[in-house]
Structure 1
């Protein structure tokens, strides 16, 4: 049985409508803050492709107004489930922007857990978008990783591991300075951009945007968007896999 859903988010961004458009309506822009690999064919009726962990989904652009509105809807599955994303861009004074998102559609049998994950995830990704536009304006990521780990039921255990990786002994709040120390990766100084205790901190360093998640079905996940050329992506991914295995052994 399918279940209708809708999630609404709104965020003020320190970026122009043109900068926001590039971030939400182009493949390289989306890759710089969202999960997976994304391709956007401009114009109504064209295709948006999203690839993650070997699986690709296609969507159709239903509204295309550069600098104002970008809407697309995924293909309908055999059970009638689908998702639609509607982004509305509103320019404000001094080159700032308000971005509104309506995420809607129909979910399947596991709809309650999925809906809970979407409510948390949509807000998280909007805040990641804000961090990207703040720290890496005019740049796009050279690689993006999403590394899933084990399912861990205890929030406090997960939060403690996140704090350890970030070198934080006290409370994690926006603006908290961190020093990322993960075996196999170069140490990096950064700052916490957003937190949702006890599930998600996002961190920016000089050359990367990181997000640590404890989300859908208690799965621990690390995301990294890198902004430097020549990075050893395979070694970086392996370092995160090893950290996840060791931290939650």
Structure 2
């Protein structure tokens, strides 16, 4: 028990220190979560408008993308299965060590300019938000409907940023197969207006105008020749802040 408490303390400390050093990825953007608690009631909103609640029983993936979710009714214990194509939005709670990362990463908060689609009370309680999008994986494959994790839920009114579960990462500290420090993702999916696209670190300059070119104040403060990938979360946040004036 003592060892477990010490380990949790060290893990939380590592995440907190990393949040100071890499505040953009750890504080501005949510981490991309891969494990979900079976002990906290999840919420699914189906395409037909029905809201379904229950404990997470199973979440299956193919190539990093969720394609199947099973919930267990919190009262009857009945299990219900849903294909990703049936789900419009989903709120899951992080599980395992990943929930510690989420807690550490939100020591500092930001003002909210979230998408109107969000149930803010669930976001405030620490839930992860997924939304179905029609997207081409890596801008190469035929478009598919996918449940994607929104990683800027509190400032997503102009630009939505979705995690790439298959993203390559910079070097970080791994514990038990889970990357808890460093390890900035090298790619994300962005949605602005009706356009959704995959963006790699090496191509940030190519998408600068598409993301930020309609805000002169932003471009004056963050010119294209000075932008850095590790500041991406701050850029999206500041663009949102400047756009609501």
Q: Fold match, TM over 0.5?
A: no
Q: Which has the higher helix share?
A: 2
The TM tier, using the shorter chain, reads under 0.3
- When normalised by structure 1's length, the TM-score is 0.26
Structure richer in strand, relative to its length:
1
**TM-score, reference length from structure 2:** 0.26
